[in-house]
Structure 1
Amino acid sequence: MGERSFKLIESTIEDTFSNAFKEILKKYAGLSIEEDWFNDNKGTTWKLAAFTDFTSMHNLTKEFREKGWGVKVPFANDPGGWHYCLSFDEDTYGKVIVNRWTDHEEKDQFLVIAESFEEFIDGLKRRPEENT
């Protein structure tokens, strides 16, 4: 992803991304990484399958707004298709939210799992090898 891609999405959300957000997506958009497990502060483990590519990020951001789901930018997904989103909504601004759209009713589909994008990225770890 490049600056033009970010500018287009920023115009959709009417806000700007942090440099940390841009740098990660410039490097990893559309890719998976080895540090793909995140433990939230409630002890739940989340798996990151891949970072989102520009087209999906842009289209889903628009779709969320059109459906009345707020201003959220999906930047990655889990193996089952749930989206990890950066929130630009007033009550959850800057937090990482999981869009659990397949298994939860609309009122329960969004769940905060990190207080910031940086907390989420810094918390990603490699899954420890199973001892046999």
Structure 2
Amino acid sequence: MKKLTVRHRLGNGNIKLIERELGQELPNDFKKFIVNNAGLSHYECLFEDNQGNSWEVSQYNQYKDLIGLLREFKEKGLGLKICFAYDPGGWHYCLSFDKETYGEIIVNRWTDYPPEEQFIVIADSFEEFINGLKRSEDI
């Protein structure tokens, strides 16, 4: 059977709108990742942070959530963060563009935690996070 070519998950117009909302360009590695993986899930979905905590990625966000959550965070005064994925319980994995945590991966624990404990850094960079993802049988 013929193998079909998969389209990019986001187009240049989507990226430009996200960057306009953010007020800056996205890092190239992050941009390439969301263009190819938005809306998908992978077998490599488990991440262990430096504290030994395990985190699970359920799915990567589609365009509407990438831009919608960026806008929502800005409107609520929660900073500049692009929520690119979520866990099985609905917590968001975000790439931070805030001055104090720029480039770090933050989990938005918007349920179960008071506002002052809502965000937690789990990786120093997007590359560290993606490179650290493993399959469950590899842990």
| TM-score interval (norm. to shorter) | over 0.9
- Give % identity: 50
Match for 1:7: what amino acid?
Answer: K
Give, in angstroms, the shift of residue 16 of structure 1. Answer: 1.2
Match of 1:43 among 52, 63, 77: 52
5+ residue gaps, structure 1? none
Q: What is the root-mean-square deviation of aligned Cα atoms in Å?
A: 1.2
Q: Please give the alpha-carbon distance, in whole angstroms, between the structure 1 residues aligned to 2:85 and 2:56.
A: 10
5+ residue gaps, structure 2? 1-9
Q: Please give the alpha-carbon distance, in whole angstroms, between the structure 2 residues aligned to 1:34 and 1:84.
A: 17
Match for 2:81: what amino acid?
Answer: K
Q: Any residues of structure 2 matched to 1:79-90 within 5 Å, and which? A: 79-90=88-99
Q: Give per-residue Cα distances to partners, 1:31-68, cap 9 Å, x unaligned.
A: 10010000000100000000000001111100001000
CA separation of 1:15 and 1:80: change in aligned 2, threshold 3 A: same
CA separation of 1:103 and 1:23: change in aligned 2, threshold 3 A: same
Partner of 1:93: 102
- Aligned pair count reads 130
| Greater radius of gyration (CA) | 2
Match of 2:75 among 66, 86, 89: 66
SS at match of 2:134: coil
Partner of 2:119: 110
